[in-house]
Structure 1
Amino acid sequence: MPEWTELRDIALEAREKSIPKQWLLPEDQLPPKDQLNVLDVARSSGILSAEELVMLDQDVAELLEAYKSKKWTVRQVVTAFLKNSVIVHQLTNYATEFLADEALARADELDAHLASTGTLAGPLHGIPVSIKEQLTLAKRINHGGFVNLIANPPPAEDAHLARLFRAAGAVLTVRTNIPQSLMHLDCENNIYGRTRNPRHLLLSPGGSSGGEGVSIGARCAVLGIGTDIGGSVRAPAAFNACYGLRPTALRIPVLGHSGVAAGQESIRGVAGPLANSVEGLELWMRSVLEQEPWEYETSLMPVPWNKDVQLGEFTVGVMWDDGELMRRETTSIVKPHPPVTRALKHAVDSLKAAGVKVVDWEPLDHQRGWDILAPLYFPDGGQRWLSAFSATNEPILPLTQHALNFSLNTGKTPLSIADNWDLNYARETYRREHHLLMKARGVDFILCPAYPGAGVLQGQSRYWGYTSIWNILDLPAAVLPSGLAVDKAVDGGGAVEGYEGRNEMDREEVKAYDPELFHGFPIALQLVGKRFRDEDVLAATKVLDTALKSKR
């Protein structure tokens, strides 16, 4: 097999050819190198017209109405989003391939369909959608962040989920960047390099769906397709001030994903939505499940989408900390930074003002959950990953090694079959106990941080605990903006006075809290529900979102 640099260059050349060069910013119009927030550079560039800027701000429902009323064509809207995408990529390195020619041709087909029939071609007619590179597309390079997979022959058909989106009328416009190994809460690989956060170029965009976070947060697409096995939809949503959902496993298709972990079922990866509203998350889920994907992908549970959720009264338990009340030594418990705690308090006040019952939630031994989860991430001791890297002499990036160490440091991997069975049994016991505890306490949803801080420096996102715990429990979890941002005058400076940390990871996070660095950066929150109650989670997230907006 060729060396990794040769294969890398093949992918880089394919990306370069895909970029619509006519929409790139000239060198003399690029922002100065010391400008860290580049979110609005595309809007002020003059490349997009005033009307195109209005298009970028529309959500799904508004765009569908604009198509039906003949206010805009799909071609006009897709062009606007592609223009913005090209400039945002120029500033952040978030795209792996532009699908411009294909997208514009599809836009013309949809416009012709509406003109001839008077009806939309599906629930996502003409909606620009970005897609994580992990999902394979027909006749294109697909690699999932592994250089050696670039050498694979292109598949004959799209991933199942991509086909369903096309069938719903969506227009796939751009593929987005991912980290090496697909196991970072950050976004860097040896093919394209590092993706940067347009709100603060020194900070991480999250991962592994990091490119998707940038795409949706910077309005390069209306909906995004991500995946999540430890926080990979939710961290990018949190760090890019948008909305994300980690669905219950076995509801959304995963057939046709690149990578090396096919067949690993102890901790299932899921595909899930990113959007700029709760309504966008809901329509994403409904548009997929109304096509009954279980009729093709037989591993899926045949659970139709319930569009008539009636929540009634419900109780939210607030998890202020993932180990605050624990009485034993921990190695993987971390206290949230002061801005995150402030956002939680703001959410509690907002919910109470909306008439929602709120109680404190003491976590069910999250250290135990991590001890089950860690060896299951790489049950073979990471051999599939290491073999993939060694095939081309691809260097292992620091956060890849950090993730591999989750399993290696347990001293349990590679797992024997008996070891794996024991951990699966422990996992199911933990899930059952957690569910029964929620019932016993009368708690319907858990409100908690999405990450210890509002954001994190590039290459430093090491703590997964506030998202990965819901993967081991297989609970649906939504991330949404709190409406607040870090304020150095309000949140205080430096480490929390008198707090030294409970373990090495906690002490690292104490040092990571820098109110000067994060000043003005948005703070996200996470709302978790019960297994297979994804619809309820989104309904409750909508209540929370409305309550938060009413308090601004």
Structure 2
Amino acid sequence: MEMKPWQEVAQRAQAYRDKSIAEINPPIPAVPEELPQNVIHLPKQLLTPREVEITEMLPEELLPALADGKLTSVEVINAFVRRAGLAQQLVNCVTEVMVPQALERAKHCDEYLAKHGGPIGPLHGLPISVKEHIGMKGLTQNCGFVAWIDEVAKDDAFILKLLHNAGAVFYVRTTEPQLLMHLETASNLYGVTVNPYNRTLTSGGSSGGEGALLGLRGSCLGIGTDIGGSIRSPAANNGVWGFRPSSYRLPNSGAHAPGLGEEQIVPVIGPMSTSFAGLNVFMKTIIDQKPWLNEPSMVPLKWNTTESHLVERFGQKKLKVGIMWHDGVVKPHPPIMRALTEITAKLKNTPGIEIIDWAPHKHEESWDIISSLYFCASAKEDLDIMEAGGEPILPLSKFILLDQVGVPKEEDTASTIWKKTIRREAFKTEYAAHWNATGAADGHPVDVILCPVGPGAAPPLDHSRYWAYTSTWNLLDYPALVFPYSQVGQEKDKVEEGYVPMNDQDDWNYKLYSPERYADAPISLQLVGRRYEDEKVFEAMQFIRIATGV
């Protein structure tokens, strides 16, 4: 069958990726022709023991070993490059492996350490993976669009410059979906990125390549972006850590996307990692360099999450945690409810922690508001880009662009945008009052909310159609941290028999679940704080980790 022009472009993109993987030396081992449903353990079987040992070290283990020369940057990068190349064969999560650039940088790190007797900076020699649309000078920023295959960044994104200053080594770029607006990762350029724990399920999106790569330990620290759940969805689906900071805490400049310049729902850059400490060192490393001096839109807030600060914050009073069991619209599947129940039970028995039930406030309305603000230029902008590339619209692109009532059919006027913005601000004010009311009795409102990341574990492919467990916090601009808890168990997580759904969306989600269908999928939860109280979320998470062992 004759290929269509867009298919030829996709073939070119994939050939470029495959050529980059072919530069890995020695070549990555062949994977089985028939892959099992769960491929999470295959890298341990296919890589050398030394490569496995290095790639399964956490950032907080790698950094001191790199800083004092116990590990060389070259050895570490070679190991992660090989595991990333293998991850691509298993779940299709990579757009490019930058072997020559990474090795050159790693050699520089080793030479610097030998010459100066100390590291370049706090991230000396650490491998960091990067989502494709975050600009790297001279490399593509296609954002999942066929028409943008030859869009090339003129400079490195500012956040990459800051990480480079700190000693980081960039070595791999990862997949993202068409539009950058799916909670999955599928494009006509690269196909579908699947979940390493269960290849019939999604890796999440739009930072799904990052999530899958981290899940397979082809990375220990990566960069994602989030406008509706795009860091938290893949972090949860792949059993890793992810953080959506408040807007303007980290620099956005240099990332490419449709609708650049819109300020109705501000996208944020944030870290994804195999550990909690990885998130913290990422945030601290960037913010300690005072990026607001170069990017004036940023909020000039220092990063303070030291142990003494934790004691100061919570040593004299209880940590008050609100448990949001569900959002009043769609009840999460049994594995998520089990995780919440188990963690809540541990927290209730922990001195210094107070638990209350959190009543969700108009979360259905939150989706109506945010979906009306995502595409103020209307769906036409994205549809025109797809038409220019001659590519078909994918199911979840159609879902978010054409099936949502709030998405305008024509470009909004300034006055309609203002009216929508007034509605957004009114919702924020209402939610703040709702939060404040939790302190009416004792003068101590809730510190953080513990809640689901989604209406279930990683959904089957093409089924990530309910965003409100993450997007509500984008609308409010609240920081949110995702952490892994366990996995779906076929004996533990039976279907809730006799459940009466609250509405059609709830009914659809309820019928989606069976423990067999979701076998092995990671279970994660989300900790949410108030706007610009990002550090409090980290400190509360530290407190909760001590109490629960997560």
- 1:265 maps to what in 2? 263
Q: Superposed, which structure 2 residues align to 1:226-237 within 5 Å?
A: 226-237=224-235
Q: Is the 8 A contact 2:20 2:98 kept in 1?
A: yes
Q: Distance in 1 between matches of 2:97 and 2:222?
A: 14
Instruction: State the aligned residue count.
Output: 532
Q: How many angstroms does 1:288 deviate by?
A: 0.8
1:157 aligns with 2:155: yes
- 2:138 maps to what in 1? 139
Q: Distance in 2 between matches of 1:240 and 1:502?
A: 29
1:72 aligns with 2:71: yes
Deviates more, 1:295-304 or 1:239-248: 295-304
Q: Distance in 2 between matches of 1:177 and 1:157?
A: 20
Q: Is the 8 A contact 1:136 1:256 kept in 2?
A: yes
1:181 to 1:410, Cα distance in 2 relative to 1, 3 A: closer
- Secondary structure (helix, strand or coil) at the match of 1:76 reads helix
1:146 to 1:412, Cα distance in 2 relative to 1, 3 A: closer
1:449 aligns with 2:452: yes
Which residue identity does 2:461 align to in structure 1?
Q
Q: Distance in 2 between matches of 1:343 and 1:284?
A: 27
Write the deviation string for residues 11-57 of structure 1: whole angstroms up to 9, x where unpaired: 22321221135455555xx2352511111212111x32x22222112
- 2:99 maps to what in 1? 100
Q: Distance in 2 between matches of 1:475 and 1:240?
A: 23
1:458 aligns with 2:461: yes
Which residue identity does 1:429 align to in structure 2?
A
Which residue identity does 2:484 align to in structure 1?
P
1:430 aligns with 2:427: yes
- 1:57 maps to what in 2? 56
1:379 aligns with 2:381: no
- 1:344 maps to what in 2? 340
1:321 aligns with 2:326: yes
Q: Distance in 2 between matches of 1:456 and 1:32?
A: 25
1:455 to 1:300, Cα distance in 2 relative to 1, 3 A: same
Which residue identity does 2:467 align to in structure 1?
W
Q: Distance in 2 between matches of 1:177 and 1:549?
A: 32
Write the deviation string for residues 237-287 of structure 1: whole angstroms up to 9, x where unpaired: 001111000100111111111221101110111001101121111111111
1:415 aligns with 2:420: no
1:515 aligns with 2:515: yes
Write the deviation string for residues 85-134 of structure 1: whole angstroms up to 9, x where unpaired: 11111111100000111111101000011111111101111111100011
Q: Distance in 2 between matches of 1:352 and 1:54?
A: 37
Q: How many angstroms does 1:502 deviate by?
A: 2.4
Q: Superposed, which structure 2 residues align to 1:46-445 within 5 Å?
A: 47-48=47-48, 50-152=49-151, 154-308=152-306, 309-310=309-310, 311-312=313-314, 313-323=318-328, 333-355=329-351, 356-405=353-402, 407-408=404-405, 414-441=411-438, 442-445=445-448
- Runs (5+) with no aligned partner, structure 1: 324-332
Q: Is the 8 A contact 1:11 1:141 kept in 2?
A: no
TM-score (norm 2): 0.93
1:478 to 1:506, Cα distance in 2 relative to 1, 3 A: same
Q: Distance in 2 between matches of 1:61 and 1:341?
A: 31
Q: How many angstroms does 1:367 deviate by?
A: 1.5
- Secondary structure (helix, strand or coil) at the match of 2:392 reads coil
Q: How many angstroms does 1:426 deviate by?
A: 1.5
- Secondary structure (helix, strand or coil) at the match of 1:501 reads coil
Q: How many angstroms does 1:205 deviate by?
A: 0.4
- Runs (5+) with no aligned partner, structure 2: 439-444
1:502 to 1:447, Cα distance in 2 relative to 1, 3 A: same
Instruction: Give the % identical residues.
Output: 39
Q: How many angstroms does 1:158 deviate by?
A: 0.9
- Secondary structure (helix, strand or coil) at the match of 1:446 reads strand
1:343 to 1:180, Cα distance in 2 relative to 1, 3 A: same
- 1:329 maps to what in 2? none
Q: How many angstroms does 1:75 deviate by?
A: 0.5
Which residue identity does 1:537 align to in structure 2?
V
Deviates more, 1:118-127 or 1:517-526: 517-526
- 1:326 maps to what in 2? none
- 1:328 maps to what in 2? none
Which residue identity does 1:472 align to in structure 2?
L
Q: Distance in 1 between matches of 2:8 and 2:302?
A: 46
Which residue identity does 2:340 align to in structure 1?
L
1:417 to 1:471, Cα distance in 2 relative to 1, 3 A: same
Q: Distance in 2 between matches of 1:206 and 1:26?
A: 27
